[in-house]
């Protein structure tokens, strides 16, 4: 059973559909006790960093997430959910959960070959697997294509916690991070067809592996 954390800013339906498609089951909850007891957690997110942290605080979800993590739960953060795992974001000048000693920054506006880069970064892009990848993203998946929608990025390409990077314009950023059983991906596996299905299937099966 995969616990999908409902804090008001995630596309939970798409993730639940993907989990079901790859053979898993899920429940959507904002109940602190359920989250604290969960063995596999997905922290989704679309939208503003400061609002996301405020919703987690208002719904009393932060302490249960920390408890579940300390007790060995597998936790996957998607898009904003990944960014919330960092120490701080420029979006709202707001502190995050602090699970990764990294910062979230705005994608710089730039002009390349007389063309202004569009922000948000939206659409398909490739990942480069680094530091051996992780249980959910193996080295042989280098150059896999995933779907992105974001205006901010995790500044962590040089970190030993970085498991893959992606380049947009001249900015290379951490598109995946991992520490133990805690994972974060900037892209949306639930919208990434066969590559996203492969990743989510690994999450579903990982406790049996």
Tens digit of pLDDT for each residue in 86-123? 999 999 999 999 999 999 999 999 988 888 889 999 99
Architecture in CATH of 2-208: 3-Layer(aba) Sandwich (3.40)
Q: Give Rg (Cα) of the chain.
A: 16
As annotated, the active-site residues are 79, 188, 190
In angstroms, the CA 15 to CA 49 distance is 20
pLDDT, one tens digit per residue, over 121-155 is 999 999 999 999 999 998 888 889 999 999 999 99
Of 163, 158, 109, 175, nearest to 132 by C-alpha is 163
Residue 209 has pLDDT above 60, yes or no: no
| Nearest one of 52, 26, 54, 29 to 40, comparing CA atoms | 26
Q: What is the mean pLDDT of the chain?
A: 95
Q: Where are the alpha helices (DSSP H) in the chain?
A: 12-21, 32-37, 49-58, 62-70, 80-83, 193-205
Mean pLDDT lowest for which of 4-13, 31-40, 162-171? 4-13
The answer, yes or no, to whether residue 170 has pLDDT greater than 80, is yes
Contact 12, 28 (CB under 8 A): yes
Q: Please state the separation of Cα 189 from the chain's center in Å.
A: 9
């Amino acid at each position: 059973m995969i616990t999908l954390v409902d804090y008001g800013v995630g596309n939970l339906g798409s993730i639940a559909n993907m989990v079901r498609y790859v053979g898993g089951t899920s429940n959507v909850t904002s109940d602190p006790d359920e989250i604290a007891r969960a063995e596999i957690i997905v922290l989704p997110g679309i939208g503003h960093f400061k609002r996301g942290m405020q919703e987690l605080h208002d719904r009393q979800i932060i302490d249960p997430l920390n408890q579940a993590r300390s007790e060995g739960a597998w936790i996957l953060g998607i898009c904003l959910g990944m960014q919330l795992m960092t120490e701080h974001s420029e979006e709202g000048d707001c502190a995050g959960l602090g699970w990764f000693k990294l910062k979230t920054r705005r994608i710089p506006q730039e002009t390349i070959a007389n063309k202004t880069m569009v922000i948000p970064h939206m659409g398909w892009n490739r990942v480069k697997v680094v530091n051996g990848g992780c249980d959910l993203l193996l080295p042989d998946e280098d150059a896999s294509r995933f779907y992105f929608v974001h205006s901010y990025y995790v500044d962590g390409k040089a970190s030993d916690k970085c498991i893959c990077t992606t380049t947009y314009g001249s900015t290379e950023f951490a598109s995946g991070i991992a520490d133990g059983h805690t994972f974060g991906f900037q892209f949306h596996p639930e919208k990434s067809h066969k590559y996203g299905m492969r990743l989510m299937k690994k999450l579903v099966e990982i406790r049996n592996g």
